[in-house]
Structure 1
Amino acid sequence: MKEVHSHPMSPGDPLGFTLIRVPFFLEPDYPRDEEFGETNRERLVRKWGGIRGWERQKQQHKLKERGQEVGIAHFNLDRIASSTFRSHRLVQWVTKTRGIVAAETLYDLLNYRHFEVGEKLNSTQLLTDAASRIGIDRKEVEDFLSSEEGTREIQEAQLALRRLNINSIPTFMIGGEYMFSGALHHKEMVQVFREIENEGGAPGSCFAKILGIGEDVLEQTIDLDKPPRWEQA
């Protein structure tokens, strides 16, 4: 996105980007209670049928190397895995009530504290800390987390994902038209964005209505040059 935005095909008329995060569950059967957790190492060894299977997957996907390419020096292998349902609810709520930019800042902070620091995404402490870090009152966050608000929308999004035969991440849906799965190289994404730029843009999202995201939110664009707030602190 930064490459396409910084070097527009028409000088002075860069393509703007907005982004909607669609909830997806790698472990849909995890208990949602806050007490449950296991290390990601345990999860992956179990998932791939033992140490050998896990080692094969590491060699195939090279996620460590991909992370380093974009500035992530270290993934915490023993981070605590848990249900991500509450964190997805929080991100969707922030998207609807505070907008795309706030939601992306929150999402970035949650990713940092989970994948690099190793914290559990089901933790009320983590979720309230992260939301308050981007300027949301802690009591308001706690009240939201203790409710069921947003649950129905996320469940409906899961049904839509199944209808589209989306069963893995990352999956990218761009402009409601292009769909790609897997850890793509950034050059492939640039090519798609250039096609969209050449066509004059691609507004709209097939998931916005399902998730209850209004047109005013969809019209917001991400500040691609602004560093994450947690990085500034």
Structure 2
Amino acid sequence: MTVDIWSDVMCPWCAIGYTQFAQAVVALEGELAVDIRWMPFELNPDMPTEGRRQDDHLAAALGRPADQIAQMRQQVIDAAQAVGFPMRETGDDGAPSMVWNTFAAHRLLRWALNTSGPEAQTRLKLALLHAHFADHRAVGQEAVLIDIAAEAGFDRAAATAALADEALAAETRAEEQRGIQSGINSVPSFVIGGRFLLPGSREPEAFVKALRKIAWMDEEQAERF
């Protein structure tokens, strides 16, 4: 069973939702084999490369005062930690929560899938999520992305070349458009077998139930899903 996860590195619920989904996959070991592919979706495609402080970005986007933004952010951190993802308010060096442009990260993820396969791509995706939400590294900067890729076991020179590959950039843009045209308008979105959409995060047991149902349904049932 192939599962395409439309996601953005900036999305905290993508980190939370995948952690819950991964727990479901572990629970189904020996029953279902699941191949995961990460697909590109940019929450903030117009974000400049230098990024923006998250509190400023959320205040402008939501029109809420600082105390409400801080409360919302803490609720998300608590939710992440409750499912086992190490999300933090700041990095060890005090680096604040930031919002970055993620197109370069998506290009690198596409390259990882094309050249090394789904498992390697997931390894890179998790490294990027941890770098952003736990370590507060500047994942919008290409030099930082190359460092993260190298730390995740990828060839540094090849990763550098990938970020300069215009054909790869065009392919990534095309995948973004394909997602939008297919009705993907929020993340995380889990597309099972190219047909069945499970939007948002949910408890592992709910993912288990949905994956089992999809795996065993016949064509008539699939049309009614």
If the length of structure 1 is used for normalisation, what is the TM-score? Answer: 0.72
Task: State the alpha-carbon separation in 1 of the partners of residues 75 and 162 from structure 2.
Answer: 37
Deviation at 1:108, TM superposition (A): 0.6
The structure 2 residue matched to 1:46, chosen from 48, 60, 65, is 60
Greater fraction strand: 2
Which residue matches 1:112?
130
The structure 1 residue matched to 2:203, chosen from 177, 185, 191, is 185
1:70-92: CA deviation from partner (whole Å, max 9, x where unpaired): 21243336322211000000011
Pairing 1:136–2:154 present: yes
Greater fraction helix: 2
**Most deviating of 171-180 and 18-27:** 171-180
Matches within 5 A, 1:79-158: 79-158=97-176
Query: 1:169 touches 1:181 (CA, 8 Å); kept in 2?
Result: yes
Deviation at 1:125, TM superposition (A): 2.5
Matches within 5 A, 1:190-209: 190-199=208-217
Which residue matches 1:21?
38
Read off the aligned partner of 2:31 and give its amino acid letter. P
Which residue matches 1:160?
178
> How large is the RMSD of aligned CA atoms in angstroms?
2.6
Task: State the alpha-carbon separation in 2 of the partners of residues 132 and 85 from structure 1.
Answer: 19
Which residue matches 1:224?
none
Go from structure 1 to structure 2 and tell me whether the alpha carbon gap of 1:7 and 1:140 turns closer, same or farther (over 3 Å shift): closer
Query: 2:37 touches 2:121 (CA, 8 Å); kept in 1?
Result: no
Q: Which runs of 5+ in 2 are unaligned?
A: 1-21, 91-95, 219-225
Deviation at 1:20, TM superposition (A): 1.1
Read off the aligned partner of 1:171 and give its amino acid letter. S
Q: Percent identity, aligned pairs only?
A: 26
**Most deviating of 186-195 and 153-162:** 153-162
The structure 2 residue matched to 1:30, chosen from 47, 68, 80, is 47
Q: With CA pairs under 8 Å and 6+ residues apart, which has the higher RCO, 1 or 2? A: 2
Task: State the alpha-carbon separation in 2 of the partners of residues 101 and 7 from structure 1.
Answer: 17
Deviation at 1:130, TM superposition (A): 1.5
Read off the aligned partner of 2:33 and give its amino acid letter. G
Read off the aligned partner of 1:87 and give its amino acid letter. A
Query: 1:131 touches 1:141 (CA, 8 Å); kept in 2?
Result: yes
If the length of structure 2 is used for normalisation, what is the TM-score? Answer: 0.74
